[in-house]
Structure 1
Amino acid sequence: MKILRRSLLLLFTILLLAVFYNYPKLNIIAGYAAKMSGSSVFLAKRSLAFTDSTDTNFSPVNLASNRVDAETKTTYSSAFGLLTRKAEYREGLGNILVLDGTNLAEDMPVPKRNRLENDLAFPYGNKEPKDTVFSTVDYTKLNATVDAMFNDVNKTRAVLIVYKDKIIAEKYDTNFDKNSILLGWSMTKSITSTLFGVLQCKGAMNIYDKAPYEEWKNDDRKNITIHNLLQMNSGLEWDENYNTISDVTKMLFLSEDVTTAQIDKPLVGKPNETWNYSSGTTNLLSGILRKQFNTHQEYLDFWYSALIDRIGMNSMTIETDMKGNYIGSSYAWATARDWAKLGLLYLHDGNWNGDALFDKDWVKYATTPTPTSDGWYGAQIWLNAGSRYPDVPKNMYSFNGYQGQNVFVLPDQDLVVVRLGLTKNADVNHFLSEVLNSFK
């Protein structure tokens, strides 16, 4: 009997230690599941069953069980019944992950929208585009190239190709269409950066000024500029690892205020000499944007009035943290057509049908390689200057996100290519080269 008791005590101790050791991981697993499930159901208008079988159906996130309360628009995700995370949907702010023991303010301000309404066709309005046939395009080859992106390996949800402002190819996976709202993940970073371009070109900001953080004024971090942050070349410590408990997973799933996640990090390199991809840096930039305005309402409105609604990205919502700050690193949702509009804005040097949001100098700045990035990165924009895609022009640049969200801009070809999906398995170099080979 004593042996049995000792065995049971040992087993209980092992289980207790296992739970203690894995509890932080369970917190992040349940947090991811609650965040994604609620956004998919309440923002993108998909069913929970569909979300469970697709967006959250990968290890270890699929270990969580999810349920939604349609009346309160609340999502609950449980990890083995040991830990439950909650997220609350707020119209205009998205699905907000709530920390245990805390509550969202009832009176959180929401952005005021002025959605573009006119009788123009895409892209300058939201009416259906007129059919346009270009003699220089081999549509049979182009459509075959697009079709090849849709299979169980690539898991593509949407492809949209715009040539000379005209849609020449558009395809969606089953259960998706032109009205489907899709998460851009880190393509949101390019939205955040673009707002700095708007302010810079208005003369309302100088990106070469020192970053406005009092916490840095008494050490070498005082030399970090907004420019360094835009290029992710500040030298600040940051671990962007989604496979473990890291700086980025703690920021996204365990933080009330994402704009402060990197403020207290030390320098591990020198500004302008140490490129390191960091979602924390982008959320520092979101915090800097907040500092430009007297009220939180002005900050919330600016993202839409200065850019998103101004170019008719009517479907877009950028989600916030518990403090109402935009999670500028990760959480913008929009249709494929609206994601294409951002690419077209850059293709046209910041001019949107006669409305100048920024100028070609900003495009040149944003697409100039960051020192020590091997030609891969500009100002929150990915580049091909280092021939990452060898069969694609070197001046191609793109907005990229987790699981293969992409808006590719090819200036010489007057082309914007959007691909949205659930994996990065697609051979982007082959896909883009085949698109280009479709032109005679």
Structure 2
Amino acid sequence: MQRLVLSCCTVASLLVAREAAAACPTGVTWPAADWPEALVRGPTADAADDYLFTLTGRDEDRKGIRTDGVVIVHRGRIVYERYARGYARHNRHLAWSVSKSFLNAMVGVGVGRGALTVDDSICDHYDPGPELCDVTVGDLLDWGSGIDWNEGYEDDPYYLSSVIAMLYGIGSGDMAAFVASQGLAETPGTVYRYSSGDSVLLSAVLASALGPGLAGDYPWEFVFDPIGMTSAMFERDLAGTYVGSSYVYATPRDLARFGYLALREGCWAGEQLLPEGWIAASTQPNPSFQVGESYDHFLRDGDAVPGRHWWLNLPVPDLAHERRWPAAPPDTFAGLGHWGQTIFVIPSADLVLVRTADDREAGFDQNRYLELALALAAEDSP
């Protein structure tokens, strides 16, 4: 099946510009034990306070905008930071599906070390049963495994939800085995279907590829320790698999370190932690999504375009898909998690935004949030 050519000028120009800058940058600010600060004061910061931290519903009812913390980093310095609802800068927060973007980075390091490739069959490293041997590592990164999966949350009947069964029910003991047991619904690599199951299976594949010497410690060796994420935690299931779909915890300041790693194309303080081009390749429309019927069947209304465990702000005219955040530049990409967890990265503005929250209903306007952050950055004079 042929893949679509997506917004050729937009995608190609972004990739050329970013690949040209793939070498570790010099002359930029890197956080040491803590972030340098250059807090912006004034009407724009006040407007951000009002929008992000004005409770619009009763807290005990879990209604309205329920921000727990926001950290905005411009040119390597914190220009805005605030917390609420009992949180402070030292409190870890569950990242929910932002964890998937962390998993992308960990797979990237594994690829860079030669432990696996994106073209490997998952059966080269993990035994899911012969039915799944046509699934590649890249298919899992694309959420394109073809595995029969229902990513249903609170709004769907719990007994129909594959992800609830995996995280809390019969699949919770060995989550990767549970995912593999669901079998195939489509040919691998031909249909995009957002799936926490793909992410957990990918985590098991990565651990198996790394072998027992690294399987227990790779999140710290690959990502957390090199970038100074001293608050980071990563839960495992009873089988020992890191729950790469959901269960990274960290402070907003440490989540911003990860966003800064992505902003700097996988570099940290002069060291190339991720393979050159990994972030650029992960933040273009993923191959499984580019098959036209993927959109028709499984892309939910209002979603951003999927990269490889990141979300993109690129338009896809061939699929009648507009930019998700029109206030932000098209090179914006994000890690997105349940109930309002976000890491936004805007390379052209040298900007990273972290928000932790408990948004239990629709209402938070991410586009307005990005508009305010870009205004703050504009006021942060060189």
Q: TM-score range by the shorter chain?
A: 0.7 to 0.9
Give percent identity, aligned residues only.
Answer: 31
| Secondary structure at the counterpart of residue 267 of structure 1 | coil
Tell me which of 38, 42, 60 is aligned to 1:132.
38
Using the alignment, how far apart are the partners of 1:385 and 1:397 within structure 2? 9
Q: For residue 165 of structure 2, what is the amino acid of its counterpart?
A: K
Tell me which of 272, 276, 281 is aligned to 2:198.
281
- Residue 308 of structure 2 corresponds to 379
Taking structure 1 as reference, are residues 214 and 157 closer, same or farther at Cα in structure 2, changes over 3 Å only?
closer
- Residue 61 of structure 2 corresponds to none
| Mapped pair 1:429 → 2:344 | no
Tell me which of 217, 224, 239 is aligned to 1:308.
224
The answer as to whether partners of 1:351 and 1:359 remain within 8 angstroms in 2 is no
Tell me which of 84, 89, 113 is aligned to 1:173.
84
Tell me which of 146, 153, 165 is aligned to 1:250.
165
* Greater RCO, 1 or 2 (C-alpha within 8 Å, sep 6+): 2
Taking structure 1 as reference, are residues 406 and 215 closer, same or farther at Cα in structure 2, changes over 3 Å only?
closer
TM-superposition CA deviations, 1:367-402 (whole Å, max 9, x none): 011224576111111111130112221211001111
1:235 is displaced (CA, Å) by 1.4
The answer as to whether partners of 1:123 and 1:341 remain within 8 angstroms in 2 is no
1:211 is displaced (CA, Å) by 1.4
Tell me which of 315, 320, 331 is aligned to 1:395.
331
Tell me which of 359, 365, 380 is aligned to 2:281.
365
Q: For residue 401 of structure 1, what is the amino acid of its counterpart?
A: G
Using the alignment, how far apart are the partners of 2:250 and 2:187 within structure 1? 37
TM-superposition CA deviations, 1:217-258 (whole Å, max 9, x none): 3x4x33211001001012111011123122111110122111
| Mapped pair 1:272 → 2:201 | no
The answer as to whether partners of 1:143 and 1:169 remain within 8 angstroms in 2 is no
Using the alignment, how far apart are the partners of 1:250 and 1:148 within structure 2? 36
Specify every segment of 5 or more residues in structure 2 that has no aligned partner in the other structure, as ranges. 1-28, 56-63, 316-322
| Mapped pair 1:151 → 2:62 | no
1:123 is displaced (CA, Å) by 5.3
TM-superposition CA deviations, 1:98-153 (whole Å, max 9, x none): xxxxxxxxxxxxxxxxxxxxxxxx95322362x437xxx77431342244111222
Using the alignment, how far apart are the partners of 1:274 and 1:359 within structure 2? 27
The answer as to whether partners of 1:172 and 1:178 remain within 8 angstroms in 2 is yes
TM-superposition CA deviations, 1:393-426 (whole Å, max 9, x none): 1211001111010000001000001111000531
- Residue 141 of structure 1 corresponds to 44
| Secondary structure at the counterpart of residue 157 of structure 1 | strand
Equivalent residues in 2 for 1:211-230 (5 A)? 211-212=122-123, 213-217=126-130, 219=131, 221-230=132-141
- Residue 331 of structure 1 corresponds to 247
Using the alignment, how far apart are the partners of 1:180 and 1:235 within structure 2? 38
The answer as to whether partners of 1:201 and 1:362 remain within 8 angstroms in 2 is no
Q: What is the CA RMSD across the aligned residues, in angstroms?
A: 2.0
Equivalent residues in 2 for 1:6-405 (5 A)? 124-127=31-34, 129=36, 131-132=37-38, 139-152=42-55, 153-212=64-123, 213-217=126-130, 219=131, 221-243=132-154, 244-245=158-159, 246-254=161-169, 255-295=172-212, 298-370=214-286, 371=290, 372=294, 376-386=305-315, 387-405=323-341
| Secondary structure at the counterpart of residue 369 of structure 1 | coil
| Secondary structure at the counterpart of residue 334 of structure 2 | strand
Q: For residue 286 of structure 1, what is the amino acid of its counterpart?
A: S
The answer as to whether partners of 1:160 and 1:336 remain within 8 angstroms in 2 is yes
The answer as to whether partners of 2:45 and 2:80 remain within 8 angstroms in 1 is yes
The answer as to whether partners of 2:283 and 2:310 remain within 8 angstroms in 1 is yes
Using the alignment, how far apart are the partners of 1:266 and 1:384 within structure 2? 32
- Residue 6 of structure 1 corresponds to none
Using the alignment, how far apart are the partners of 1:397 and 1:195 within structure 2? 18
Using the alignment, how far apart are the partners of 1:140 and 1:202 within structure 2? 48
Using the alignment, how far apart are the partners of 2:52 and 2:365 within structure 1? 9
Q: For residue 306 of structure 2, what is the amino acid of its counterpart?
A: Y
Using the alignment, how far apart are the partners of 1:173 and 1:314 within structure 2? 22
1:266 is displaced (CA, Å) by 2.4
Q: For residue 229 of structure 2, what is the amino acid of its counterpart?
A: M
Using the alignment, how far apart are the partners of 1:128 and 1:205 within structure 2? 34
Indicate the structure (1 or 2) with the bigger Cα radius of gyration.
1
Taking structure 1 as reference, are residues 276 and 366 closer, same or farther at Cα in structure 2, changes over 3 Å only?
same
Give the length in aligned residue pairs: 312
1:332 is displaced (CA, Å) by 0.9
- Residue 356 of structure 2 corresponds to 420
1:355 is displaced (CA, Å) by 1.8
Q: For residue 132 of structure 1, what is the amino acid of its counterpart?
A: A
Specify every segment of 5 or more residues in structure 1 that has no aligned partner in the other structure, as ranges. 1-121
Identify the range of structure 1 (297-306 vs 164-173) with the bigger mean alpha-carbon deviation. Answer: 297-306
- Residue 318 of structure 2 corresponds to none
Q: For residue 258 of structure 1, what is the amino acid of its counterpart?
A: M
1:215 is displaced (CA, Å) by 4.1
Normalising by structure 2, what TM-score? 0.77
